[in-house]
Amino acid sequence: MDPTIDPAFLRGLTQRRLSRRDLIRYAGVGAGALSLSSILAACGVKSSGGAAGSESAAAFDWASQTLHHQLNFANWPYYIDVSHGTHPTLETFTQKTGIQVNYKPVINDNQAFYAKLKPSLEQGKPTGWDIVVITNGAQLSELIDNGWLIPLDLSQLPNFTANASPTIKNPTYDPGNKYTVVWQSGLTGIAYSPKATAALGREPNSLNDLFDPAVAGHVGMMSDNTELGSIGLLKLGIEPSTSTPDDWTQAATVLQKQKDDGIPRGYYDQGYINQLENGNTWITQAWSGDVFIAQQSGYPELKFIVPNEGVMFWHDNMMIPVGAANPLDALTYMNYVYDPQVAALMANYIWYITPVPSAKPIVEGLPGGKAVASSPLVFPDQAMLDKTHQYYVYKGVSDLDQWNNTFDPIITG
């Protein structure tokens, strides 16, 4: 037996080895050093850039623009005519003008889409779009106030001047149509199933039916706080567009009470229509076009009504973001969709409110167009229009914050 031990082996046994604990400690030191610098760097980041866009927008020179025969168009899904996988009105447009349209239905949500555009606009870079479609609301106000939209040359929109419905000209959120023209409009009213009629013992006809204990646990409200707050205001008989923060508090109290009484089943986004179809809700806040589509696709028993107190009238608007590569092509297209023939083809597919009332007789002659033309939800009559109300136009971020702080606690309570 050899009593001597290899000294190298002994050293290996006694020397401190790298334990897991050490690894974690070393890692901590290294990561700390790295992250400190990054935090310091992050401190320097401003949340908002300068108004690089505003000057270029104010000085926009339409006279020097030429057609590039190219148009990048961002829109919402199912929001243009479709036939055998193509969009006939877009194809006709290309035939007539030679402008190729890159049509992308990429917008699902105003806020999320705006959040994608904002970084480019802040840095004065092009967004890649020549036309985007955004609903009247805080995002649109923010685009206008920051000078991130190219002012339209109305003299090059003769179809708009001649054919646009007076209800959508010169809107409160964009006086004089300086930056926007309407793509389509819609109503936020009430949709219900026969279960609601049975529970109430009559057909619903009022916003109060959304607050009725007879349908408790089966009422759908919207998680969009503009929609929710506006309904609260209408129920109190307050005109939303001229409401004050005091009115908002009153409306919030009513809506909070509705919630405390266990009336709403939930606060829903676009999924509200599935909730109604699956019988979870019997009566719900609803957008007019959705109900029309649900009726045609297996739920004919669903109904949409305009409550006695009135409905909200919203508008999805076409606009040209600053930095657009093809502004004249965009303007040409805007003029094109105000042609009654084109508007009729689109109205017959989209089933929201067309901005061109003179399309009505043309729609009547289209296949399946009879029901569309006679629907006051696509071609609202005067009685319907008298009941419409406009959203409150947020005057600024502090205004918007106050609205959010008033109505959000109800939704996320």
Partner 1 sequence: MEQHLRSDHHGLKQKKARGKKRLAPYGLTAPGVLWLAIFFLIPMGAMLVLSLETRIPTLGFKNSGYQFTWHVGEYGAAWAQAHVQFVRSLWYGAIVTIVTLLAGYPAAYWIAFKGRHHKTTYLFLMLLPFFVSFVIRSLAWQFILSDDGIVISNLERWHLLPQGFHILSTSTAVIAGIAYNSLPFMVLPLYVSLEKIDRNVVEAARDLYATPRQVFRKVILPLSIPGIFAGFLLTFIPAVGDYVNNDILGGPNTTMIGNVIQRAFLNDQNYPLASSLSFILMVGLLIGILIYARVLGTRQIEEYI
From the list 30-38, 62-70, 315-323, 382-390, the region that binds partner 1 by CB under 8 A is 30-38
- For residues 21 and 84, which CB has a smaller minimum distance to partner 1 in the complex? 21
Min separation Cβ 407 and partner 1, Å: 10
Q: Is 264 in the site for partner 1 (CB under 8 A)?
A: yes
Q: How far is the CB of 21 from partner 1 (least distance, A)?
A: 8
Token pair of 154, please?
């109305």
198 binds partner 1 (CB under 8 A): no
Binding of partner 1 by 50 (CB under 8 A)? yes
Strands 219-222 and 388-389: unpaired
Backbone conformation region of residue 294, classed left if phi is above 0, alpha if psi is from -120 to 50, else beta: alpha
What's the chain's length in residues? 413
- Which window, 33-41, 86-94, 329-337, 348-356, contacts partner 1 (CB under 8 A)? 33-41
**In degrees rounded to 5, what are phi and psi of residue 398?**
-70, -40
Q: How far apart are CA 389 and CA 316, in angstroms?
A: 15
Neighbours of 136 (CB within 10 A): 24
**Three-state SS at 266:** strand
* Helix/strand/coil for 303: strand
Kindly state whether residue 230 participates in binding partner 1, applying the rule CB under 8 A.
no
Spell out, one character per residue from 115 to 154, where the chain touches partner 1: x when CB under 8 A holds, - when not. x----------------------x--xx-xxxx-------
**Closer Cβ to partner 1, 142 or 364, answer by number:** 142
Q: Which is nearer to partner 1, 28 or 365 (CB)?
A: 28
Local structure of 34: helix, strand or coil: helix
Residue of 64, 66, 278, 297 that binds partner 1 (CB under 8 A): 278
Contact 144, 53 (CB under 8 A): no
Interface residue with partner 1 among 83, 86, 111, 341 (CB under 8 A) is 111
Residue 317 identity? N
What torsion do the CA atoms of 316, 317, 321, 326 make, to the nearest 10 degrees?
120
Query: To 5 degrees, how large is the angle CA 257–CA 187–CA 224?
Result: 45
The residue from 158, 194, 279, 361 that contacts partner 1 (CB under 8 A) is 279
Interface with partner 1 (CB under 8 A): 18, 20-23, 26-27, 30-31, 34-35, 38-39, 42-43, 45-48, 50-51, 54, 111-112, 115, 138, 141-142, 144-147, 217-218, 225, 259, 264-267, 278-280, 394-398, 401, 404, 408-409, 411-413
